Structure 1
Amino acid sequence: MPDAYAKQTMCYTFSKLSSINLPRRRIAIAILHVGIWFLHCFVVNECYIGSRDGSTPLHKATLDGHVNIVYILLQNHARIDIANNIGSKPLHNVASNGSEKVLDILLQYGAQIDVKNNKGATPLHESASNGNEKVVDLLLQNGAPIDVMDKDGSASLHLAIFSGSNKIVEILLKHGCPIDIENKDGSTPLLYAASSGNNKVVEMLLQNGVEIDMMDNDGSIPLHYGASNDNEKVVDTLLQNDAQIDVKNNDGSTPLHESSSNGRNKIGLTPFHIVASNVHDKVVDTLLHYGAQIGAKDNDRSSPLL
């Protein structure tokens, strides 16, 4: 058996292949083929020697999308589900960089599709948050669990909306993902979509039967977020689908309060003050059109009507 230094040298060579320019890389691969007997002597148990961050040559090769190197390592029994220091396994790396070919190889060699890193994220979480549509679809076709939450309580649908990938949202919905799932803040995917002003996703979720007035931990509903971000289209879409217009959150704010840049409520600003100040006029007009109440008085019981 080769000594420890030789073993580490060989593994280090694999991990550095991605930094070699193309002609030299081809030469390096040829040399590695010639020396494959040497690699085979220790790769079964030793080629998972990691770098300072715990990443193995397979981690590096999958992260950079090097199909041939991944294949060579796996042919020689590199451990496919070993984790680095943050708990990420090679399949997490593939999900992040979007290499379908590498993903297919890992799955053929039996990579666990539902593995979690230290943050509780699965490969599906990683691909959804990085906008890798084809990888998301391939993972789901191979049985990736769609309703798993990470340690923040976020599901893949939350992450897809947060990343702004409407196509991934569509893919997840087609595969039957839960649409009213809440994270640790009590935020649903619809709250995320309304907050980000993504009216297309708001419409998709409503078409799939999402509950329109689910509150987060602050007592706010999607209409609060649409109004506070001055998004007329989101506000109009929610109201057309019968969102509650005068519901108050834990601070006593209605969506009309939230349409003010100050968003005041308990400290004296009434909805009518907001109308009078002409702040966020289009959203205010939309809310008033659907019957928002404006007659409340401030802490001194005075009204702008007087």
Structure 2
Amino acid sequence: MAYIPPVNQPHCCDIKKCQQFINEEGPSVLGNYDEKGHTPVHWAALAGSAELIGLFVDCKGPVNLPSQSESGQHPIHWAAVNGCIAVVDLLVKAGVSLDVEDQKGCTPLITAAQYGQTALCCYLIGKGAKVDLCDLEGDTALHWAAFKGHCELSHLLINSGCNPGQTDNFGQIPLHLAVLSGNLPTVQLLCGQDGVELEAEDHNRNTPLRLAKGRKSKEIVSFLQNTIIQSKNLHAKFNWSTWLFGRPGKSKGPLLFFYGNLFLWGYPTYFFKIMPVSYYALWEWHITFLLCNVLMWFFFLKASLMDPGFLLRGTEEYNNAVRQAINFNDWKNGKNPLSRLCHTCHLVKPLRSKHCRVTNRCVAHFDHYCPYVYNDVGHRNRFALYMAAVNITTNERMNLKKYSYLMDESGHFFNPFDRGLLLNLLEFFHLIPQLSEDKIRKRDVNEI
């Protein structure tokens, strides 16, 4: 048997040596298995090397042989683990079926769902992968997404036709598995779907609520109990506890703690202990203090009650992006038109925006969800929060290498949003318009 190319090791992707082996031994060398029962194509797919997979496809070698291991996975399954769309795209164009199954009945879509690869799932669905296929235990991609707590992916699969009420071989629907994951947003999503029985029993006679109690997931237990009660009433029942303390997953505890400290301790101490003994001697300081408090409350309530910059949901731009991705041919160059899609809000996220899991909305210039103002902090209310209490974030600097749009063509990291101290302040206080995406992309590190 010919020597296996060095790509059999996931950390070795030497294109020249692989080309040399193929020239010497012929394309059939790609069908050789290593001691673990995997082919070179498996390792290249796992490494996400589109260049190597392209080489293997061009030489007409076998690129769809199953592994000899117990799982019997094909290379496309290995590529799905890391969500490498470029590799999957090359394999699909080489004739690999979108719905090829391993020994456990898992398709590439199910494998991608197991690992939370939302963009790849969107690609596979757009290419025509069947969303209703099950593995040997009767679990669909939605079952796996729910079990792993991937809320956005679950939303995509439901919108793509996955049945949220389908049972597996254990009698469990995705809601059972979402409860086991402990992910409240996924539980909330599934409870809001038509055809989902909130009190469905599996083969062990466990309902989602019973499973939640067994796992001591207090927020999920509270949410399921309230949802079940409301589903049995023709008219929505007002819940004083929810109104006062917040719904599960969005507690008003920090906000009430803030109010309690001020109104039960701070202000009483000031008005009954400090002010009576010092007002006449320091009246100007008291006036200043009270005026500052008025301003503080104005900006605090403004930050708490105003729209922080929620983006419009259900945009046509999202639908166009999904449709265009089907015919996109530049995956191998690292471009991914699906990376900025939000499948919950159905929109294309602008730069610096993010989906907040607490409010379940995408927010422009998202900073963070602040439990003390009970609202997101974003483009529209960040100034108000700053005026209420100085807030400094270092997220972008700490995660500099995490964001692809902070890298220039030479691979150097820089901040294209930095316009200098003066312009940064003017933009922050809305005195000058922010840079457009086109201008941001055209900026070079030498301009900073």
Same-fold call, TM cutoff 0.5: yes
Matched, 1:118 2:111: no
Task: Kindly report which structure 2 residues correspond to 1:170-185, keeping only aligned pairs within 5 A, or say none.
Answer: 170-185=155-170
Matched, 1:241 2:227: yes
Instruction: State TM-score, norm by structure 1.
Output: 0.68
Superposed displacement of residue 91, structure 1? 0.6
Matched, 1:60 2:40: no
Quick one: distance in 2 between partners of 1:188 and 1:93? 27
Contact 1:81–1:112 under 8 Å retained in 2: no
1:78 maps to which of 61, 72, 88: 61
Superposed displacement of residue 53, structure 1? 2.7
Q: In percent, how many aligned pairs have the same letter?
A: 26
Query: Letter of the aligned partner of 1:128 in structure 2?
Result: A
2:11 maps to which of 16, 19, 36: 19
Instruction: State TM-score, norm by structure 2.
Output: 0.47
CA deviation map 1:151-203 (0-9, x unaligned): 12221112112222112111111212011111222111111122333221121
Task: Kindly report which structure 2 residues correspond to 1:132-281, keeping only aligned pairs within 5 A, or say none.
Answer: 132-209=117-194, 210-242=196-228
Quick one: distance in 2 between partners of 1:81 and 1:30? 22
Superposed displacement of residue 32, structure 1? 5.1
Quick one: distance in 2 between partners of 1:233 and 1:135? 31
CA deviation map 1:103-127 (0-9, x unaligned): 1111121211111111111111111
CA deviation map 1:84-138 (0-9, x unaligned): 1131101100111211111111112121111111111111111111111111111
CA RMSD of aligned residues (A): 2.4
Quick one: distance in 2 between partners of 1:133 and 1:232? 28
Contact 2:100–2:107 under 8 Å retained in 1: yes
Query: Letter of the aligned partner of 1:19 in structure 2?
Result: H
Query: Letter of the aligned partner of 2:215 in structure 1?
Result: N
CA gap of 1:236–1:69, structure 2 versus 1, over 3 A, is same
Quick one: distance in 1 between partners of 2:16 and 2:179? 54
Deviates more, 1:150-159 or 1:28-37: 28-37
Quick one: distance in 1 between partners of 2:21 and 2:72? 31
Quick one: distance in 1 between partners of 2:22 and 2:29? 14
Quick one: distance in 2 between partners of 1:220 and 1:31? 56
Aligned residues: 229
Unaligned runs of 5+ in 1: 246-282, 284-306
Query: Letter of the aligned partner of 1:189 in structure 2?
Result: P
Superposed displacement of residue 242, structure 1? 2.7
CA gap of 1:227–1:31, structure 2 versus 1, over 3 A, is closer
Contact 2:150–2:186 under 8 Å retained in 1: no
CA gap of 1:64–1:87, structure 2 versus 1, over 3 A, is same
Query: Letter of the aligned partner of 1:217 in structure 2?
Result: H
Q: Secondary structure at the match of 2:128?
A: coil
Name the residue aligned to 2:113: 128
CA gap of 1:53–1:122, structure 2 versus 1, over 3 A, is same
Contact 1:213–1:243 under 8 Å retained in 2: no
Quick one: distance in 2 between partners of 1:128 and 1:172? 9
Superposed displacement of residue 233, structure 1? 2.6
Contact 2:11–2:47 under 8 Å retained in 1: no
Quick one: distance in 2 between partners of 1:237 and 1:224? 13
